[in-house]
Structures are given as structure tokens and as C-alpha cells.
């Protein structure tokens, strides 16, 4: 008999009809005469209640109905009185597809997220992680939908790259050489000539440079793919492997770029409110009681826009008034998360877009402002998260870009193709990068980035 997903079953009013549901047991309780089994199949946060009259079933079979076991149930759909749902299933036939012993690590309720990380292969079956990963899927759909509706093309940039000049972070090397017997050149360096690509290669830290090639041909593109950073940042906001969305647009200046970032992120949050209501209500209750309020607030309010210099002034004033930061504040610093969060959470109580950063702390490709000191960078700062987006208007002038490349000693052998965009038909253009997991952190109210990607990769951790 055809299985009905629990999500659809719970909407049904076909009382009296025979149905089949399959899923994993969340709980079983009951009396001598009747058992109540809460069954979940991952299609929704909600369980369906299966009612089993004990005189209709073999006692040995019912003993196998333990938390975590997998069942196939046939029965009659009936109107429910006590299950919290409209319907329940009066079981006529129960088959145990997979038993589950007491050593099942997700047996107990209320385990810490830290504990569940040790069992990340099984945590997916819990209510919280089910909710998080259904929302993660929905956010991916929202992103594609937004860009598709707005005339952006999904553009695939390479994961293996030979340019190590992006400067966004330490890179993981890619090689097929025998690491026990590395070929060296006469001057003692590693000889990549016989390596797979004939040169040193790594995993990409960003698709931006290739994205610019796409934007200056197709008009507007976005990437959405994995990125890798080998920096040893053991924080709740950094992964070694994360997913990034990078739109890149011809003919956009920094203001258009900010408008896009704000509209886009609001679209995603609104999508979550519309499409993930049940999961959000659950997370709001169990994980973070201010989640829904925060999501609505982001959708309903304009983001604050100010310059880095103004931001520093606010932070300096806070220090004067006695606010203690771990790291010192003065013009020129790269803002720490505590500074970003002060601006967003304490001062403005709204998302903030900071622009006009000192050129020294930003990448070489950003367009210089008239002052010669700051660049047209923009970081979008979010409550609870800090930086969620980093972007800029790109330097479109060949001579200025080349001068900056030389000033920073970036190897030209890697950059010739990038500079060609400025040689032939250069145009003003802009783009940004949104960390997908940081968006999921925001939308779910989870605290640790390791808990919003199914199988996190962090320093000293590549299990599963």
C-alpha cells in the first residue's frame, strides 16, 4: 500500500480511510490496553500519533517499538482527541522495519548540542536538527528563487584553483604527489611541474574573481557553492568548509550593492517566515525565545547605513562612557565581532551596513574612495552573528588595479586573466559574499555554526 508522508497525512480529513505511514518512533507510552506511538518521518516537525490496541498485536512485537525504531504502520485515519493533532492512525498492522536498542545515542531527550555533535550522524533524527535542516533546504530554495526572479544567472566557479591571491584566508592544497617522497627542484622548492595540474593548486576560498568574469559577460550572476578556509579559527562563526553565495553585478555601484544585499536578505528571512512556520515556532520555543521577534524585526526595519569612520566614533564614545571591549578601538583596526555586535545589538538595535573601510584591512580589488585612504567596501552586520555579508564595489580602472596589485606584491602570473576584464570593455561592477551558514544561524537562532551544517569541518575535526 502507498505510503503517505506525515506532513500530508496531518492535513488530511479523509476520516475512515486506510493509510500507511512509515517513520521512526519518537516515544511510546500507554497502558495495558492501548499504546500510543509518536511517529516521525522527517517531512515535518510534527509526529503522527499511532494508536495500537494491545489485544490486537503480539506483545513481543510491541516490545520492539522502542525510541528510534523504524516502523511501517497501516491503519485507519481517525479524528484525534488528545494527540494535539487533528488526526491519528488507529493501527491495524505494524511492521518493525528496523529495531533500535537502548544504546541508540539519541535515546534521551534534552541532550546538549555538544553531545549531539559527537553523534552528528544520528543527530539529524532529532526535532531540533530536523527543523534546522528543513530550514537550510528552504533557504537554498529561497536564494535560487530570488536570483532567478531578478535576472541573475547561476554561475559555477571552480573549486580547485591555481590562484592564491584572493587573500581571504589560508588555503588547503590540492596535490596528487606522494607526500612521503616529494619531488624537489634544485633550489629545494617543491617541484609542481609533474603534479596533476603542473602547478600548485588549492581549494577555493571564494568564487569572486571568476564571478567577475561572469558578471562582465552575463550582466549579473551568482555563485552558490562550497568554499574552504584553512585558517585556525576555532569560533562559533567559522567553518573550514562552508557554503557561500556570491552575486556579482555589472553596472552596480556600492549603493546599488547595498540595496541588493538588504532586499535579498529580507527576502530570505520572509521566505523562512512563510515556508518554515512550524519549524520556526518549534525553535522559538525550544532554542531561542526571541527568534521570531528578531526575524520580524529584520524584515520590517531599514538597515542602518554608516561609514567605518562613524562606526569607530560610536565605539570610541562607548569606551569613553566606560564600556569595556577586549580589543582596543581606534581608526584603522579590523573590527572584532564584539565591536560589530555592540553597534548592532546595543547602539542601533538593527542590522548595520558599514562602508568606507581603511584600504589596509580590505582586499586589493576594492574601489578606492576619493580620499585615497578608504575603499568602497560594505559589511552587513547582524544581531547575534556579526558579519554576515562582505562585499564591495570593484576597482574597474586597469591602471589603479595594477598599481594596487604591485603595491601588495601579488604575483602577476596568477592575475593576468583577472586584469583582462579591465583591459577589454571594463565596466563599473560590484558584488558580495554571504556566508550560507551564518544566514542559517540567524534564521534558526542556533548559537554554533557547527550545528547548522550537517557534517561540520573545523580544525581537528573531519569525522563523518
- Contacted by 242, from Mn ion, ligand ATP, none: CB < 5 to 8 Å by type: ligand ATP
Could you tell which of Mn ion, ligand ATP, none binds residue 262, using a CB distance below 5 to 8 A set by kind?
Answer: none
Is residue 244 a contact point for ligand ATP (CB under 6 A)?
yes
Shortest CB 237 distance to ligand ATP, Å: 6
- Residue 390 within binding range of ligand ATP, rule CB under 6 A: yes
Instruction: Decide whether 54 or 233 has the Cβ nearer to ligand ATP.
Output: 233
* Residue with smallest beta-carbon separation from ligand ATP: 435
Tell the smallest beta-carbon distance from residue 174 to ligand ATP (Å).
19
Stretch that binds ligand ATP, among 144-152, 236-244, 270-278, 304-312 (CB under 6 A): 236-244
Indicate whether 433 belongs to the interface with ligand ATP (CB under 6 A): yes
- Scanning 190-198, 238-246, 305-313, 418-426 for contacts with ligand ATP by CB under 6 A, the matching segment is 238-246
Residue 168 contacts ligand ATP per CB under 6 A = yes
Which residue among 23, 351, 390, 456 contacts Mn ion (CB under 5 A)?
Answer: 390
Per-residue binding letters, 252-291, with Mn ion (x by CB under 5 A): ----------------------------------------
How many other C-beta atoms are found inside a 10 Å radius of the C-beta of residue 261? 25
Binding to Mn ion by residue 211, rule CB under 5 A? no
Nearer to Mn ion, 135 or 366 (CB): 366
# residues contacting Mn ion (CB under 5 A): 1
Stretch near ligand ATP under the rule CB under 6 A, chosen from 152-160, 183-191, 280-288, 431-439:
431-439
In whole angstroms, the minimum distance from the beta carbon of 137 to ligand ATP comes to 18
Residue ranges that bind Mn ion, judged by CB under 5 A: 390
Residue ranges that bind ligand ATP, judged by CB under 6 A: 168, 229, 237-239, 242, 244, 387-390, 433-435, 437-438
Amino acid at each position: 500500500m502507498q505510503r503517505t508522508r506525515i506532513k500530508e497525512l496531518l492535513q488530511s480529513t479523509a476520516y475512515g480511510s486506510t493509510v500507511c505511514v512509515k517513520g521512526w518512533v519518537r516515544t511510546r507510552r500507554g497502558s495495558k490496553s492501548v499504546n500510543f506511538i509518536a511517529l516521525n518521518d522527517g517531512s515535518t516537525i510534527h509526529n503522527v500519533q499511532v494508536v495500537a490496541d494491545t489485544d490486537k498485536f503480539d506483545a513481543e512485537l510491541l516490545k520492539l517499538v522502542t525510541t528510534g525504531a523504524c516502523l511501517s504502520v497501516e491503519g485507519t485515519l481517525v479524528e484525534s482527541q488528545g494527540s494535539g493533532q487533528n488526526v491519528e492512525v488507529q493501527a491495524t498492522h505494524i511492521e518493525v522495519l528496523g529495531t533500535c536498542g537502548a544504546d541508540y545515542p539519541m535515546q534521551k531527550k534534552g541532550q546538549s548540542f555538544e553531545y549531539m555533535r559527537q553523534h552528528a550522524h544520528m543527530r539529524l533524527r532529532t526535532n531540533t536538527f530536523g527543523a534546522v535542516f528543513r530550514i537550510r533546504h528552504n533557504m537554498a530554495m529561497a536564494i535560487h528563487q530570488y536570483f532567478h526572479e531578478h535576472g541573475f544567472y547561476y554561475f559555477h566557479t571552480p573549486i580547485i584553483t591555481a590562484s592564491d591571491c584572493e587573500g581571504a584566508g589560508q588555503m588547503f592544497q590540492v596535490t596528487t604527489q606522494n607526500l612521503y617522497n616529494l619531488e624537489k627542484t634544485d633550489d629545494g622548492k617543491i617541484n609542481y611541474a609533474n603534479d596533476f595540474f603542473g602547478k600548485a593548486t588549492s581549494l577555493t576560498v571564494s568564487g569572486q574573481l571568476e564571478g567577475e568574469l561572469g558578471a562582465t559577460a552575463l550582466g549579473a550572476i551568482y555563485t552558490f557553492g562550497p568554499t574552504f578556509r584553512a585558517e585556525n579559527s576555532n569560533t562559533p562563526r567559522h567553518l573550514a568548509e562552508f557554503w557561500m553565495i556570491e552575486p556579482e553585478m555589472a553596472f552596480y555601484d556600492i549603493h546599488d550593492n547595498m540595496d541588493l544585499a538588504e532586499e535579498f536578505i529580507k527576502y530570505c528571512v520572509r521566505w523562512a517566515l512563510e515556508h518554515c512556520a512550524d519549524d520556526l515556532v518549534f525553535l522559538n520555543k525550544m532554542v531561542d525565545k526571541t527568534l521570531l521577534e528578531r526575524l520580524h524585526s529584520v524584515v520590517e526595519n531599514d538597515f542602518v547605513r554608516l561609514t567605518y569612520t562613524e562606526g569607530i566614533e560610536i565605539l570610541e564614545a562607548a569606551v569613553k562612557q566606560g564600556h569595556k571591549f577586549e580589543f582596543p578601538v581606534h581608526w584603522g583596526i579590523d573590527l572584532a565581532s564584539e565591536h560589530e555586535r555592540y553597534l548592532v545589538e546595543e547602539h542601533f538595535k538593527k542590522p548595520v551596513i558599514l562602508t568606507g573601510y581603511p584600504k589596509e584591512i580590505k582586499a586589493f580589488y576594492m574601489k578606492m574612495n576619493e580620499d585615497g585612504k578608504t575603499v568602497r567596501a560594505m559589511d552587513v552586520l547582524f544581531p547575534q552573528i556579526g558579519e554576515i555579508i562582505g562585499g564591495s564595489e570593484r576597482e574597474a580602472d586597469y591602471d589603479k588595479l595594477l598599481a594596487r596589485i604591485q603595491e601588495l606584491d601579488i604575483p602577476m602570473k596568477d592575475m593576468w586573466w583577472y586584469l583582462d576584464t579591465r583591459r577589454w570593455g571594463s565596466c563599473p561592477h560590484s558584488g558580495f559574499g554571504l556566508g550560507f551558514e551564518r544566514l542559517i544561524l540567524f534564521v534558526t537562532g542556533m548559537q554554533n555554526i557547527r550545528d547548522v551544517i550537517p557534517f561540520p569541518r573545523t580544525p581537528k575535526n573531519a569525522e563523518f
